[in-house]
Amino acid sequence: MDEDRQILEVDILFVGGGPANLSAALRLTQLIASHNGQISAGNRSSPRLEPRIALIEKGHDVGAHAISGAIFDPIALEELLPDYRDRGFPFSLHVTQHSLRYLTTERNVRLPNVLIPPSYRQDRCYLGSLQKLNLWLAEQVEAAGAYLFHETCGVRILYDGARVCGVQTGDKGLDADGGRKANYQPGTNIHARITVFGEGPYGTLAEDLINRFKLREGRDPQSYALGVKEVIQVKSGGSPGLAIHTIGYPLGSHVFGGGFCYGFDNNLFAVGMVCGLDWDDPQMDAQAQLQRLKKHPFIQRFLQGGEVIAYGAKTLPEGGYFAVPRPYVDGALLVGDSAGLLNVPYLKGIHYAMKSGILAAETMFDALLQNDTSASTLSSYEARLASSYIMQDLYHVRNFRRAFAYGCPPGLLLGGLTMWTGLGPTKPGAVREDFRHLRPLDQAVRGRWADEPAQYDAGVLVDKLTDVYHSGTQHREDQPSHIQILDPARCVTDCIPRFGDAPCTYFCPARVYELVGEGAGRRIQINFANCVHCKTCVIKDPLDVISGDHVQNIVWRAPAEGGPHYQGL
């Protein structure tokens, strides 16, 4: 099967077209151009560098799978492109009214701004869509001479001994059973001297790499959150510059997280919820919680008469300082969310992604100059991260997220305290993987409204399948499923009896998992075509807990074709 694969030789390969890799590619081309310029001017005698740089992205374009709030801190962009405002930068709207609210079922309390440390305030930030940021960055990267391959998914890491030497891209044109259709196109083996994994949180290949090289050894397992977001068009009464963050309702006291509502130009709002995946409730459903949030009087008044026009969902790495894996091996680097770089109390990761890309580029530039891409040269990336504001900030707030292990009210107090003081434990420990937190239905701590069904009105309040439609997700119905349940019988014999319900049918924000049939015929049906590639299922799949071993029942591998088609998320 492998003999008909084409081989593509490049020097640097970026896997994933997000802000981390796009920034890295751009910075690398800048460093090389400046180096070659110095040589041409006779100021430097070393050889010219002309590396071939390629980036692969599984989405239709670099924006199609990109989703974030997004409140964008331009600190890393100012470093990358000081003249970004003159280059058609797509954001112009700043946060003008920011508030943090505590919601009860009917009321809201504004938490005074003085509670938030100055560096955590949002007022110097832009409001925008990550999709637009990525598309704009990609224009700069392509203009600088790098190759961008869309709809190209890395499915397997290629090794030369213990050294990463590239990735294999997915075979296209397969039928449901994996047979070759008339237009079968075997994946390409892309060989590279350095491969950079910026696949977002829980990247298929990034996790393969982390597991193979035990890059989290001595560190905490990664904790995640699930973010769900909608874009809502109202007829009039937009609030450009509005940024509300909420805690409290509709999340129970044992779910870490909150809501957001941002106002954009053209009467658009972005509304979403971010929920820590260490929730205990097997019936917790983030998409349904988002519908409840929109019905809260404080949020509802902004969205009156509106209509959902876009939806998406994605996990975020929340483990912070102690969960950042070793970010390098022979021939490869990890950047952005794949390296767990996100600041939870600041609610931001895009600027860290971009900064980590810049640092990765500097590291790779040195490696190319020295003609040495081994781990010993690439290890300087970890040192660069450590001395940058990324790891320094993350160290300061290292205990913020962990404080919420005590529930929400004490977490707020303790977490707030650690934001100001940076105090608390200085070593990793005692953090359990998210899937271990799930408890049987009758033991879970649930909000008292949890049993009331969420309400829909086909306008601003929509059910999950309508939201899936608004994600634009598409997979060929006759392509092989990228999701497998290894032992389907255990869903019915182990999982449901233990938890009192089928958790996957709730935690999946795209209704991929559906409990069908009755009596002895009950089974979980996989609607893989609905999938929005958020990764919640592989993170939250609880069967590990029952068996005690570390074999997950759900296997999710990035598909060679398809996925969401996000617009303006």
Partner 1 sequence: MKLIVCIKQVPATESKLVLTRNGTDIERAGLNFVMNPYDEFAVEEALRIKERLGAEDVTALSLRPHAAQKPEEALRTCLAMGADKAILLSDPAFEGGDSYTTALVLAAALRCLPFDLLLFGKQAVDDDGGAVGIQVAELLGLPHVAVVNKLEVDTQSRCIVAHRQIEGGVEVVEAPLPSLITCQKGLNEPRYPSLPGIMKAKQKPLEIWNRDRIGLEPTAIGVAGAKVNVVRLESPPARPAGRIISGDAVAAVQELVRLLHEEAKVI
The residues of the shown chain that bind partner 1, judged by CB under 8 A, are: 6, 8, 60-61, 64, 147, 149, 151-152, 169, 172-173, 181-183, 185, 188, 190, 309-310, 456, 458, 470, 472-474, 565, 567-568
Q: Which is nearer to partner 1, 382 or 561 (CB)?
A: 561
Q: Which is nearer to partner 1, 171 or 330 (CB)?
A: 171
Q: Within 13 A of 206's CA, how many CA atoms are on the CB side?
A: 27
Least distance CB 537 / partner 1 (angstroms)? 22
Tokens of 139: 């224009």
Q: Cα–Cα distance between 566 and 564 in angstroms, integer? A: 6
Q: How far is CA 19 from CA 2, 330, 351, in A?
A: 33, 23, 8
Least distance CB 512 / partner 1 (angstroms)? 17
Least distance CB 152 / partner 1 (angstroms)? 7
Tokens of 198: 């910026």
Q: How far is CA 145 from CA 9, 25, 84, 367, 373, in A?
A: 16, 10, 19, 20, 22
Select from 25, 18, 22 the least CA-distant residue to 67. 18
Are 428 and 322 in contact by the 8 Å Cβ rule? The answer is: yes
Least distance CB 23 / partner 1 (angstroms)? 22
Q: Which is nearer to partner 1, 173 or 237 (CB)?
A: 173
Least distance CB 500 / partner 1 (angstroms)? 23
Indicate the SS3 state at residue 313: strand
Q: Which is nearer to partner 1, 38 or 567 (CB)?
A: 567
* β-bridge pairing 189-191 and 7-9: parallel
Least distance CB 172 / partner 1 (angstroms)? 5
Q: Which is nearer to partner 1, 174 or 391 (CB)?
A: 174
φ, ψ of residue 466 in degrees (nearest 5): -65, -40
Are 292 and 454 in contact by the 8 Å Cβ rule? The answer is: yes
Q: Which is nearer to partner 1, 190 or 244 (CB)?
A: 190
Q: Which is nearer to partner 1, 3 or 549 (CB)?
A: 3
228-238 in b/e form (b: 16+ CB < 10 A) is bbbbbbbeeeb
Handedness of CA 169, 64, 471, 223 (dihedral sign): positive
Residue carrying the six token digits 């990267």 = 141
Least distance CB 231 / partner 1 (angstroms)? 10
> How big is the CA angle at 380 (ends 351 and 35), to the nearest 5 degrees?
80
Q: Which is nearer to partner 1, 4 or 442 (CB)?
A: 4
Least distance CB 407 / partner 1 (angstroms)? 38
Q: Which is nearer to partner 1, 129 or 552 (CB)?
A: 129
Least distance CB 562 / partner 1 (angstroms)? 11
